[in-house]
Structure 1
């Protein structure tokens, strides 16, 4: 009760504009990651409400432009739900030692809200709309395949999908499928891997490429969650046949997150019927999952067997080099210039997934912009300190061993043997050199970490490394690259 009273007092103190913006923020929070919300929406202040126009104050011109480019649709839908169909936004940009009139922008949801799109498209509502208002697309008399909105993000294309060892097979298969949808051995194409590793980007890139190469083919991207909700909605209205018939019209069906089917048995039955029809008629089916199909406990065996008809391609977490490349592609897209040392620093410290990698880049640029400073390593360190959830990695001999093994592609267990293979000896010598340089362990302790070498071997290894650095430029360059990784890990 005390908390309720406190909240009532707080609400009374808020202006009408602030109260309305608080309602908007409740919706926005549910549709963004916490990090994105904290970076781009917490700094916004509601300063005025005049009729159906809400005025927001933002920190800078860049801030305003970023919101317009990346969150215009979310803001438009939200303001429409809170203020009504005629609701719109104006922005007031903070300027030092000057005044500036509010920037008026017609947002999605107002009379001129939505971007122009083909009037023949069947509109499929966004995932974050009120779930009770979801209307599944269905077959209507005279419906043509080209009248189906593909629900693809036009930014997801092969040109900006960075290839690496982690995704090479899946990307190559995707290109083949896009060139000949339904006519390759990769049908269905099942792409699986961890959250944020690029599955959605890849399968939507396939869809966009199919539309470019085969404009006469209908393409549809749909999440398994939306598919399940659509099925439930149509079941309540006794319209399951219409639901199935609509999906049987598709030439290239892209279904994201099929692991969500494991708890939806009736949906599996419907999808089985759709799958069979599409496959038998030479249509392409593309699926993604967070786990390998064989590990989908709760999925009907008849579906699992069909998933094995085509290609199951896994995507791994991006390695260090791929993460750098992803950052550089993102920088090019956004027109950003960031020093190489900062790119390497961010790529090293954010290792979980591509989404967090891009989020870190946004947070870094926002921080530099709000503070009106050039992006440098000091700013990157401050941002990463708050951004990376895990504590800084302790610099140990084991950590150094693993980094060197990863760089030279030497199995870790081989490093601990007394083999004289050249590549193993090279990695062992360099690891001993860095262990002596970056840890406080004794020579004997270092030798013990390599399977029992004595201190004289450690001394010899360090001398060998120093001699080679003085005489071999390529060797020195490789060593400096490894040293940078080791130093980053110790920050």
Structure 2
């Protein structure tokens, strides 16, 4: 193993292994499970990797050890095992004397025969009053900053805001209004804030409520750990006796834990318990979920949050600037508020980050907060903003409306000209404006073969060369989708 003795040698080895993994599992899987791993060191026949979360440690160790071992052995035949440890504040924790197959779990008291299984300390859990004293399931871990008072409502999110407040009021009064509720939007528009606010308000109104807030990856972690500990039944029973279940980042739920969520959802709805779920796409687009689960979620109240308009962005920046003024005594001139609201258009977190950067710049350099300072300080936020991410569902909606063809007919087997032409244009736009592969586009268009998609794309490309009017029409559709 002399070629890997130096730091440079190990770095080159890790780059080769990453390339093999990416080629073997594909871009999406690699980004989800391997992109955040780091090679710490190789000691004798053990490769030590680190990951930033407990869940990622456990998942990769349990599901991909053999694949990673195979990738390393192409360079180092004597590697015997892979060890993944938790990286805290940029540094890996000291290695534990435990077998490689041992899942990374947090310490908790042993469960009694009648108690719920002990869950890792990582899930966000508000309160479980039926748990025994000292039970790892009890406690509070909601974000105290994410309340209804700190949420900035506007045209883009007013429906979601109103529904969330109604859910919290109803839950505190032992009633259920809408069930389940599904809130969806792209990243950074306030879904997690609303889920935390619901939990916080319900707990404030009635501290006896059993309220559970879990991200999807923590739900999977719970389920996998319970199965490994042979306590899955106890985990299910614990989850089914909550009064309010909040699941965030639903798009990351997959595999057996997605099936388990479906069973849990059915039980909670039957028992009139409140369920609120958040994800980055409508239920029908969550292809990793069972059709029955998608149907259950779609059958409840589905609430979208759209992109922030100028007025809402300005309100958010003004609120954050007022908070900074009250805390530090600094002044945010109106032109700076306007500049940030106009220039930072990605999402709410970037707006918060922009204000924080200006505060830091003022504190560290003593410069007054001005538009030139904002231009200098926020340059990368402005440069890195991306065009709106176009989804196939958006394309179907726009094309359906523009050509007055029902969405279900675009996905059907109908071959009439008034349906075929819009369907071909929709497939062409999906190829041009999204990162989806031809087989993926085919599946989304009624289960068609990738060759059908390719034919449609080439057909439209050929037509727009000779038909100026059609070319202009497609450019109009593109602008409508990218606005």
TM-score (norm 1): 0.52
Partner residue, 1:126: 122
1:283 counterpart (245, 254, 273): 273
Deviation at 1:332, TM superposition (A): 3.4
2:211 counterpart (214, 219, 234): 219
Structure-2 change in CA distance of 1:252 and 1:127 (3 Å):
closer
Three-state SS of the structure 2 residue aligned to 1:259 is helix
Partner residue, 1:246: 238
Structure-2 change in CA distance of 1:270 and 1:29 (3 Å):
closer
Deviation at 1:123, TM superposition (A): 7.9
Structure-2 change in CA distance of 1:175 and 1:391 (3 Å):
closer
Deviation at 1:298, TM superposition (A): 3.0
Structure-2 change in CA distance of 1:219 and 1:145 (3 Å):
farther
2:193 counterpart (197, 201, 217): 201
CA distance, structure 2, for counterparts of residue 6 and residue 138 of structure 1 = 48
5 Å-filtered alignment, 1:259-408, equals 259-261=251-253, 263-264=254-255, 266-334=256-324, 335=327, 337-390=331-384
CA distance, structure 2, for counterparts of residue 226 and residue 156 of structure 1 = 19
Deviation at 1:383, TM superposition (A): 1.4
CA distance, structure 2, for counterparts of residue 223 and residue 140 of structure 1 = 22
Deviation at 1:82, TM superposition (A): 5.1
Deviations 1:348-376 (A, max 9, x none): 11111111111122222222222221211
Deviation at 1:390, TM superposition (A): 4.2
Q: Work out which of the two has the higher radius of gyration on C-alpha atoms and give 1 or 2.
A: 1
Partner residue, 2:111: none
Contact map agreement 1:28 1:78 (CA 8 A) in 2: no
Contact map agreement 2:128 2:210 (CA 8 A) in 1: no
1:158 counterpart (148, 153, 176): 148
CA distance, structure 2, for counterparts of residue 82 and residue 235 of structure 1 = 26
CA distance, structure 1, for counterparts of residue 209 and residue 150 of structure 2 = 23
CA distance, structure 2, for counterparts of residue 5 and residue 81 of structure 1 = 19
Deviation at 1:249, TM superposition (A): 2.2
Three-state SS of the structure 2 residue aligned to 1:191 is strand
CA distance, structure 1, for counterparts of residue 365 and residue 234 of structure 2 = 55
Deviation at 1:125, TM superposition (A): 2.5
Three-state SS of the structure 2 residue aligned to 1:388 is helix
Structure-2 change in CA distance of 1:170 and 1:283 (3 Å):
same
Three-state SS of the structure 2 residue aligned to 1:153 is coil
CA distance, structure 2, for counterparts of residue 319 and residue 142 of structure 1 = 48
Structure-2 change in CA distance of 1:290 and 1:391 (3 Å):
closer
Q: Over aligned residue pairs, what C-alpha RMSD do you find?
A: 4.0
5 Å-filtered alignment, 1:179-198, equals 179-181=169-171, 183-198=175-190
TM-score (norm 2): 0.53
Q: What stretches of structure 2 of length at least 5 have no aligned partner?
A: 10-39, 41-48, 54-86, 96-117, 388-483
Partner residue, 1:229: 221
Deviation at 1:212, TM superposition (A): 1.2
Three-state SS of the structure 2 residue aligned to 1:255 is strand
Three-state SS of the structure 2 residue aligned to 1:180 is helix
CA distance, structure 2, for counterparts of residue 2 and residue 214 of structure 1 = 63
Deviations 1:409-431 (A, max 9, x none): xxxxxxxxxxxxxxxxxxxxxxx
Q: What stretches of structure 1 of length at least 5 have no aligned partner?
A: 9-22, 32-75, 85-121, 129-134, 394-491
Three-state SS of the structure 2 residue aligned to 1:361 is helix
Structure-2 change in CA distance of 1:391 and 1:307 (3 Å):
closer
Structure-2 change in CA distance of 1:176 and 1:138 (3 Å):
closer
Structure-2 change in CA distance of 1:220 and 1:337 (3 Å):
farther
Contact map agreement 2:170 2:177 (CA 8 A) in 1: no
CA distance, structure 1, for counterparts of residue 357 and residue 153 of structure 2 = 25
CA distance, structure 2, for counterparts of residue 366 and residue 29 of structure 1 = 30
Partner residue, 1:168: 158
5 Å-filtered alignment, 1:52-91, equals 78=89
CA distance, structure 2, for counterparts of residue 209 and residue 202 of structure 1 = 10
Contact map agreement 1:224 1:257 (CA 8 A) in 2: yes
Deviation at 1:143, TM superposition (A): 6.8
Contact map agreement 1:170 1:313 (CA 8 A) in 2: yes
Contact map agreement 2:128 2:138 (CA 8 A) in 1: no
Structure-2 change in CA distance of 1:123 and 1:304 (3 Å):
closer
Deviation at 1:80, TM superposition (A): 10
CA distance, structure 2, for counterparts of residue 163 and residue 385 of structure 1 = 27
Partner residue, 1:477: none
CA distance, structure 1, for counterparts of residue 287 and residue 356 of structure 2 = 37
CA distance, structure 1, for counterparts of residue 131 and residue 195 of structure 2 = 30
CA distance, structure 2, for counterparts of residue 392 and residue 228 of structure 1 = 31
Deviations 1:83-127 (A, max 9, x none): 89xxxxxxxxxxxxxxxxxxxxxxxxxxxxxxxxxxxxx885237
Partner residue, 1:480: none
Three-state SS of the structure 2 residue aligned to 1:160 is coil
Structure-2 change in CA distance of 1:306 and 1:259 (3 Å):
same
CA distance, structure 2, for counterparts of residue 146 and residue 172 of structure 1 = 33
